[in-house]
Structures are given as structure tokens and as C-alpha cells.
Amino acid sequence: MNRYIILLCSMVFSIGTCVAQVFNASLPYHVTGGKMVVSIIVDGNAVPFIFDTGGQTSISSKLKNALGLNTITNRVITDVNNVKVNLEMVKIPTIATPDGKAVFTQVNSMVIDNEVFACFDGAVGLFGSDMFKNCSIEIDDKSKTIHITNEGKLSLNGRKQVYEFTPTSNGMPVFSMNVGSYTDIDVLFDSGASSALLLKSDDFRKLLGGNEVSIVKTGKAIGSIGVNGFGPPGNRYLINMPEFKLGSQKFLNYKSGSSNSPESLLGLHLLDYGKVTIDYINKLFYFEPYQTEPITDYEKKWDIDLFVKDQKLVVAAIWDDVKTGVKLGDQVTHINGKAVAALSLCESMTKGIPELKNSNAIELTVKTDEGIKKITIKKT
């Protein structure tokens, strides 16, 4: 379900200013519903944020009002559905890590009210790449810690297989990586996305034309949730990449999808395979794998994906080869003969749907325009 809740992908970079003295800070995080959640000290109070290297720092209007902040300007950003949105900008006096070692002052922040932010442990916004303009960070998923420094200790100069940010990255961790034998694409390391690698539509077509990827399945899906809500329905693809390489790590026969995001994305799942270091000062990215052998991980997919909308469980995606007579948006009323109760969007995103766990086949009762249908779906 997380494929529908990539929250924000903004290539507009605002500036957070580190204090002048040298520091080495640790920022613990935990993962809830596929999002990294951190506790940040904002003007003396600890509040939860979603850690999102693919976005820029934002707070809710509720927090803005609680802090007594005034709008200083407006800014246009591009959300995950490639939709431009005009947002208020405010300046937060101080933001600090819980250990007090990293303090950011006069931080520019967008004001975003998104219904899903609070689902992730009450998050009040995003903690984005713009915070680290004068810093380097290392993300270690084994210890669930983000190390932050401004002394160059994490500098990647001299290391092999380091990726330089693209000239048009605007300070975001966007760099060029190789897929297959010959083709390079630009990717954004976006900790707010779930997949290890998710291709934007233009890159998918480019790689398909060069035979660097192949289509396993096609289908239809509802849009992702962006700043402006759900995007329009679109085509859905299951893509096979025979090989791509990140640093010294090979990924073989990797299955992925495509999206309408402005950039192809390396996401949170990448942290399962190694440490990520982002040297924002020198504009460098480094991936340190946990293993030397190639990765061939593949998670089975349901024939039909489900999602909660308006407290109802609905059909969110269907592969074309699944001939069931149901369509996007149809309501699922029963799972394995048991009535589906009113569902919370937050609970479904953070805890999932219990009936879909530990099962490879289930029976759905679906309310369609042509009446009630009972169908069986499988994981393949």
C-alpha cells in the first residue's frame, strides 16, 4: 500500500543554517508505516517529523500558529504527482537534534497540511535535505541512527565509487547511476519513498527502448497522495531490470515499478542493504553495502492492491491479466467472508490490513456497478 503514499518530491531547496561551531550529532529514528520518524526539538519542544531526503523542511499550519510564526513569502513546489503547488513559507528560529549537538537557526520552512502526516506517530511535517546544506549525514539502518556532522568527518573525498550530485540537483542528493550495461539515469535518494529503486516514467521508457528493462506485467492504479491529494489514475507496470549497480553492490533481476514523480527514486528499502552517506558540503553520495554477493530480493505482489479511501476499502490497482470484472475504486465489503469494518486511513498505512498478512490467496466480495462479485486474488 505504501506505493500510494509517496508524500512529496520537491526540487526547490531552502536553507537551514548550522551553528558555526563544530559538532557531531546523533539523530535516532524508527520506521512506522514505511516512513522514517525522528524527534526534533523545535524552540525547546520535542515534536515528531518524517525524515525525508526527497523533500524540504515543512511544518503544519497548527505548529506554525503554535509557534506564532508569520508568513514571509510563498513558494511553488512540485509534488510526487508532478503537480505544482503554491505554499506559504515561514522562518523557524531554532531546530535542534535531541542531544542538543546540532542546532539550526532561522530555518526556512514550508507550511503543508497533509492528512497523512499525523498518521506517522503524529508527525507535524517533514525534516528535509535543506537542513543539511553545511553538513554530512550517515544513515545506518542497523542502529536506526542518522549521524550528522559539519567537521568533514564523513567527507567522501578520496573514496572509490562515490557519486557526485548532478549540476542541476539544487543541493538535493540527485546523481547519475548506471542501469544495465550502458545507460545512465539520474536518481534522487528519497528516504520518503519505499522502493529500493522506482523509475520515473521518462526513464522507464528510455531504458525500455534500450532493452535495459523489460515489462513483466501492465495494469491500472489510482494516483499517489501528494500535497494536493490524490493524483489521477494511471498505468501500472511491473518492470524487471536484469542488472543495476550502486557502488560495489549488484542488484540482479530487480522488480520495480514506475511513477509520475519528477525524478527516479532510490528509497527507504535501499537501507536494508547498506549504509548511506550524503556529503551535502561537497555534494557527494556513497553507498556502503552490507554484503558482497549480488542481491536478488523480490517481494511477491497481489493481483489486486487495496487501499482505504473515505473509510472504505477499495480496489487501488489491477493487473491487466487479472480478469475479475472489478475496476478501480470498487468497494471491498468482505474478506474471506468476513465483513470489512470502517477503516482508518492511518491504521491501514501504519499497521496494514490484517487479512492480507501471512496469506498468499484470499477471497474478496466486491460491490461493483454490475452487482456483488466474489473473486479470489493471489500473490505472485
Q: 156, 279 in Cβ contact below 8 A? A: yes
R_g of the chain computed on alpha carbons = 21
**Residue among 235, 241, 231 nearest 197 (CA):** 241
The pLDDT score that the predictor gives to residue 79 is 60
pLDDT tens-place string over residues 212-230: 899 999 998 886 655 555 5
Q: How far apart are CA 139 and CA 147, in angstroms?
A: 7
- Rounded to an integer, what distance in angstroms lies between the CA atom of residue 278 and that of residue 317? 34
Q: DSSP states of 325-379 as a string?
A: S--TTPEEEEETTEEPPP--HHHHHHT--GGGTT-SEEEEEEEETTEEEEEEEEB
Grouped pLDDT means (10 residues each) for the chain, 380 residues: 41 41 92 95 95 93 95 78 79 96 94 88 94 94 96 60 92 92 88 90 86 88 62 80 91 86 91 95 93 85 87 90 90 93 84 82 93 91
Q: What is the pLDDT of residue 71?
A: 94
What is the structure's pLDDT at 301? Answer: 82
- CB within 8 A of 315, min separation 6: which ones? 304, 305, 306, 326, 327, 328, 329, 330, 332, 366
Q: Could you check whether 2-149 and 304-378 share the same CATH topology? A: no
Domain 163-289 in this protein, CATH class: mainly beta
Structure pTM? 0.87
Strand, helix or coil for residue 291: coil
DSSP structure class, residue 53:
T
Q: What is the pLDDT of residue 2?
A: 43
Contact between residue 189 and residue 54 where contact means Cβ atoms under 8 Å apart: yes
Reported CATH class of domain 304-378: mainly beta
CATH class belonging to 2-149: mainly beta
Gap between the Cα atoms of 188 and 356, Å rounded: 31
CB under 8 Å to 232, separation ≥6 — which residues? 81, 223
CB 135 within 8 A of CB 18: yes
Q: Where are the domains of the chain?
A: 2-149, 163-289, 304-378
Q: All 3 cell numbers of residue 133?
A: 546544506
Name the DSSP class of 20: S
Q: What is the pLDDT of residue 1?
A: 43
Give first-to-last CA distance, the chain, whole Å.
16
Are β-strands 225-226 and 214-221 bridged in parallel, bridged antiparallel, or unpaired?
A: unpaired
pLDDT given at position 11: 36
